[in-house]
Structure 1
Amino acid sequence: MTDQISQDAINRTLWSACDTFRGTVSPDTYRDYVLTMLFLKYISDVWQDHYDVYKKQFGDNPEAIEAMLKKERFVLPKGTDFYTLYKERNTPGNGERIDKALHAIEEANDDKLKDAGKSVFQDITFNSDKLGDEKQKNTILRHLLEDFHKPELNLHPSRVGTMDVIGNAYEYLIKNFAASGGQKAGEFYTPPEVSEVLARLLNPQPGETICDPACGSASLLMKCGRQITRHHEGSKNYALFGQEAIGSTWSFAKMNMFLHGENNHRIEWGDTIRNPKLLDDNGHLMHFDVVTANPPFSLDKWGHEEAASDVHHRFARGIPPKTKGDYAFILHMLTILKNRTGRMGVVVPHGVLFRGSAEGKIRQKLIEENMLDAVIGLPPKLFFGTGIPAAILLFRKGRKANDVLFIDASREFTAGKNQNILSEENITKIVETYRSRTNVDKYAYCATVEEIKENDYNLNIPRYVDTFEEEEEIDLEAVRAERVEIKAELATLEAQMDAYLKELGYAS
């Protein structure tokens, strides 16, 4: 098993496995089955690889082999592996067998696959009527097991090499599900280019704690961790924290962390605004060096009725509108920032920049407290499920400067078939402009607080970055000459046409 396989080959084979469900089950349903099966297949292949190593090392000493397997990062109870399920695929009861295997795996690894009684596979059942009657369900799951048994999906570490290959495949699937997921896609995935921009702007350092209170599948959170690893000699000296309200998405985040080898993490399940779970031993909100999120845009029913009595005092600056929860997330994130080192990046719809009433008052207080560091306008059609443009707000605790940098990056992108993307050049320009904090014609402007005050604390980017392009002056003499030339050409063509018509006997 030394033959290597490319990332693209793994990705293509995984995506084609979805054909088993297409036309029978909706993508937001079969997504759970494909992602979970990838997780099961990978841990089965890792387990088998390590068993083979210990078998070669200890020969006919099953006690020694068993003792070594118990020290593994992950325990796979006998009979729960992918290959056992594959062997029994042609007999009735595939859904029940897979569910039992997943439950046994959870019980054997409760420190990794459970949080406060909530299990990773709790909202995912293969023995579901969503897959049809018993016969149809058994057939679909048989095909799924056969898809994952293909040689291309031999995921033994001795073959694929690094764990990143599997983590990348998982991210690939999540991205493709998001691309076809309609309005709900943004609930669980932030485009990698946007995550990259946030990670570079926030520049997390070794030893720091990083939190995403609306973490989805944890792609943004892990991008911040990889920023440290990439720029600090492979360092894993950081801790990742997150919370996610949707149960199945929380499961994706937990599996995603495992497949990327992120052991130092804590991902909680629950509503961040109504019931924040990242608390210290005294029941107080934990504080972090870096906080970042792409929370749901203008969330209705975010918890307005409970905000006035919030025990964590997150809404002292004001209570956001009942039907728009953007500032609820912003205020929560600011509350959990560490005082001196804390910095924050959040993706918001443009309405957050200029809407009045309660939001206007909150915005004014944040500017007066000198925590807002930058406002960055992004291109349209970057995010799955919506074509509207968004912005990034950057905040810092303990700022010395008394200004706000505005960047209009809305016109610089690479157009895709259905989705626009930020190129490496686009990303670098945003990050370098932010770090230099210099004015760039038609792109960036550093505004004083006095200027913002004169604009009634309205942060709408065109008020600060003038992108107006003067139209080129029209040369009327050149236009007249061109018109005369066209008329002459037209007269010549008319004469030729008359001649042709006479030859054909159509002369008037």
Structure 2
Amino acid sequence: MNNKVQSADINRIIWQACDTFRGVIDPSQYKDYILVMLFLKYVSDTHTEKFEQYLKKYEGNEARAQRAMSSERFIIPEHSHFKSLYDKRNEPNIGELIDIGLADLEDANREKLTSSDGAGIFRNISFNSSNLGDKKDKNARLKNLLTDYNKLDLKPSSLDGQDVLGDTYEFLIANFASDAGKKAGEFYTPKEVSTLLARLTKSKPGARIYDPTCGSASLLIKAGQQVEGKNFSLYGQEANGSTWALAMMNMFLHGFDNASIRWGDTLRNPKHTEGDNLMKFDTVVANPPFSLDKWGHEDAEEDKYHRFNRGVPPKSKGDWAFISHMIASAYEATGMVGVVVPHGVLFRGSAEGRIRKQVIEDNLLDAVIGLPANLFFGTGIPAAILIFNKAKEQRTDTLFIDASEEYDSGKNQNVLAEKYINRIVETYYRFKAEGVSPGVVKEKYSYVATLDEIQENEYNLNIPRYVDTFEEEAEIDVSAVQEEIDQLESELLGVREKMQGYLKELNLN
């Protein structure tokens, strides 16, 4: 008999829990309450299971078991434990009790659950907020929420290594994306795109992996999971405080307790530094916000990290600012960079064109991959992936892949199925390993361009310039078409004659 908790069971209960907030707060805010409570339930259940194991080990000696618990991942004050809050679900100040429990949980685990400037992961949420209704209604909602979560068994032994927060987060975003609008796409990369980018930039054991716009950290986690074994370290930064908190919880729920996730604006104030320099990484991946306005252009000329020495991007479009930061953050001679971008990055001129030219001349661009439209929540525009490789050495060719027509249609978004991901990855790694000759690799799909060709195209990377996907129209047999027209006209004449006969019979003509 399989007693493992399935994702479908968790999602069903989570969906019930969402009913608590319907009509009270904006749907895009559900996730904050839902995922914070999910995190609390998970750490509480984990704590309980560990304590029971120690009790068994020490033959029921609670004092010894408690001492052993002090070295576990999290210290859970008794009143912060989910069970304690559930037992108090009928209290008239239950919202306040939940807030106190979360604050004290944060305080008891300050090194883990706070940012470098002391901000805690629960600071942006209050279960005692008047936004949840007047006191009576709020108490009823919170009681229902606790009752729903009490149905969940989130002990590690029951989960069997499932990605609880990741699966649930994706479930919530998928269901509320239309309500959340573009907000959702700003901090969530669909898992198929994350998987593709992680596989394209697969890191070696011992790697430092970094995402400067990590959102909920799903992409960063996927990149880590590609490494053979568990010998790697994860680093990220996120500007949105609420999303930073979700990234922190996501890391803990995946067991990546030592990940370094910082809160702050990466372009204006990068937090991962070593002395006066940017920290360097083996692999840098990101899905930055597309064409960000007011990204920090006013300070870029004097950037102390010299990230914009190839040129300063325009004030209203920060795409190349993020790319420049990522390239500067990768180890010289060995670093890999993979970034999701809007297609305008490939061909826009002026300042962006000058930066693009310099990056290509510096022999950093390895691949340009066009993705299908409507993959991302909140926007239907197609995107591309750029791969930069600081280890190209003497090879100066660039691989172009047009995968824009390879997808499965979904209810709300198109889906990049595994077979399409595999084809992109196999094409790229064949190019990388074998040094494929310039020219067409796979007809209407991939092409290897020389530096001379890109220069001839004035450094325009628009994929149709390199991958010919033109479909010739079938040759028209004019005589056959005329014959078909003659036959149709003859049939039409017969129908008209019959209609005239019917009308005469009915005395209507």
8 Å contact kept, 1:345–1:392: yes
Q: Deviations over 1:22-45 (max 9, x none)?
A: 222102222100010000111111
1:163/1:261 contact within 8 Å kept: no
1:240 counterpart SS class: strand
Alignment of 1:455-470 (within 5 A): 455-470=457-472
Asked whether the equivalents of residues 165 and 250 of structure 2 are also in contact (C-alpha less than 8 Å), the reply is: no
Contact 1:238 1:264 (C-alpha < 8 Å) held by counterparts: no
Of residues 200-209 and 3-12 in structure 1, the stretch that sits farther from structure 2 once superposed is: 3-12
Kept after mapping to 2: 8 A contact 1:178/1:189: no
Q: Scaled by the length of structure 1, what TM-score is found? A: 0.94
- Are 2:241 and 1:262 equivalent residues in the alignment? no
Q: Give the partner amino acid of 2:208.
A: T
Give the direction of change, closer, same or farther, for the CA distance of 1:180–1:226 in structure 2 (3 Å limit).
farther
Shift of residue 501 of structure 1?
A: 4.2
Structure 1, unpaired ranges of 5+: none
Aligned-pair Cα RMSD in Å = 1.8
Name the residue aligned to 2:136.
135
The alignment status of 1:329 with 2:322, answered yes or no, reads: yes
Which whole-Å CA distance do the structure 2 matches of 1:496 and 1:139 have between them?
74
Match of 1:3 in 2: 3
Instruction: Show the counterpart of 2:279.
Output: 286
Q: 2:449 is paired with a residue of what secondary structure?
A: strand
**Equivalent in the alignment of 1:148:** 149
Q: Quote the residue 1:200 is aligned against.
A: 199
Distance in structure 2 (CA, Å) of the matches to 1:158 and 1:184: 35
Q: 1:384: which partner in 2?
A: 377
CA distance in 1, matches of 2:2, 2:47: 17
User: How many angstroms apart in 1 are the aligned matches of 2:387 and 2:172?
Assistant: 30
SS state of the match for residue 446, structure 1? strand
Report the equivalent of 1:34: 34
Report the Cα distance in structure 1 between the residues aligned to 2:207 and 2:4, rounded to whole angstroms. Answer: 36
Q: 1:222 maps to which residue? A: 221
State the Cα distance separating 1:179 from its structure 2 match.
Answer: 5.8
1: CA distance, partners of 2:220 / 2:20: 32
User: Whole-Å Cα distance in 2 between the matches of residues 484 and 8 of structure 1?
Assistant: 60
CA separation in 2, counterparts of 1:46 and 1:154? 10
Aligned equivalents of 1:262, 1:427: Cα separation in 2: 26
Decide whether the 8 Å contact of 2:35 with 2:165 is kept in 1. no
Q: Which is worse superposed, 419-428 or 3-12?
A: 3-12
Bigger drift between 317-326 and 9-18 goes to 9-18
Distance 1:465 1:501, change over 3 A: same
Of 234, 242, 245, 2:236 maps to 242
Decide whether the 8 Å contact of 2:166 with 2:218 is kept in 1.
no
User: In the alignment, what sits opposite 2:295?
Assistant: 302
Shift in alpha-carbon separation, 1:49–1:491, aligned structure 2, 3 A:
same
Match of 1:187 in 2: 186
Deviation at 1:506, TM superposition (A): 3.7
SS in 2 for 1:159: helix
Q: CA deviation at 1:82?
A: 1.1
Counterpart CA distance in 2 for 1:470 and 1:361 is 36
Partner Cα distance (1:200, 1:506) in 2: 77
Mean CA deviation greater in 189-198 or 434-443: 434-443
Task: Please give the alpha-carbon distance, in whole angstroms, between the structure 1 residues aligned to 2:194 and 2:412.
Answer: 19
Q: Which amino acid aligns with 1:23?
A: G
Q: For each residue in 1:465-507, what CA deviation from the matched residue of structure 2 results, as whole angstroms up to 9, or x when unmatched?
A: 111111111111111122222223333333444444455x244
Q: Aligned pair in 2 of structure 1 residues 359, 57: CA closer, same or farther (>3 Å)? A: same
Distance 2:178 2:68 in 1: 42
Unaligned runs of 5+ in 2: none
Give the aligned length: 499
Q: Which residue of 2 aligns with 1:478?
A: 480
1:188-241 Cα deviation digits (max 9, x unpaired): 11011111111111111111110000000000000011111xxx3xx1100000
Contact kept? 1:186, 1:385, Cα under 8 Å: yes
What SS does the corresponding residue of 1:45 show, helix, strand or coil? helix
Deviation per CA, 1:77-110: give whole Å up to 9, x if none. Answer: 1121111111221221122111100011111111
Quote how far apart the aligned CAs of 1:445 are: 1.1
Alignment of 1:469-508 (within 5 A): 469-503=471-505, 505-508=506-509
Counterpart residue identity of residue 446, structure 2: A
User: What is the alpha-carbon distance in structure 2 between the residues aligned to residue 395 and residue 161 of structure 1?
Assistant: 37
The DSSP-based 3-state class of the residue aligned with 1:393 is strand
Structure 1 CA distance for aligned equivalents of residues 43 and 216 of structure 2: 19
Distance 1:308 1:200 in 2: 35
**How far apart, in 2, do the equivalents of 1:359 and 1:415 lie?**
34
Closer, same or farther in 2 for the Cα pair 1:316/1:506, shift >3 Å?
A: same
TM-score (normalised: structure 2): 0.94
User: Residue 452 of structure 2 corresponds to which residue in structure 1?
Assistant: 450
Whether the aligned pair in 2 keeps the contact of 1:92 and 1:138 (CA below 8 Å) is yes
Larger mean Cα displacement after TM superposition, 126-135 or 444-453: 126-135
SS state at 1:268 partner = strand
Decide whether aligned partners of structure 1 residues 239 and 176 sit closer, same or farther in structure 2, where only a CA change above 3 A counts: farther
Name 1:89's counterpart in structure 2.
89
Asked whether the equivalents of residues 237 and 271 of structure 2 are also in contact (C-alpha less than 8 Å), the reply is yes
Q: Percent identity?
A: 56
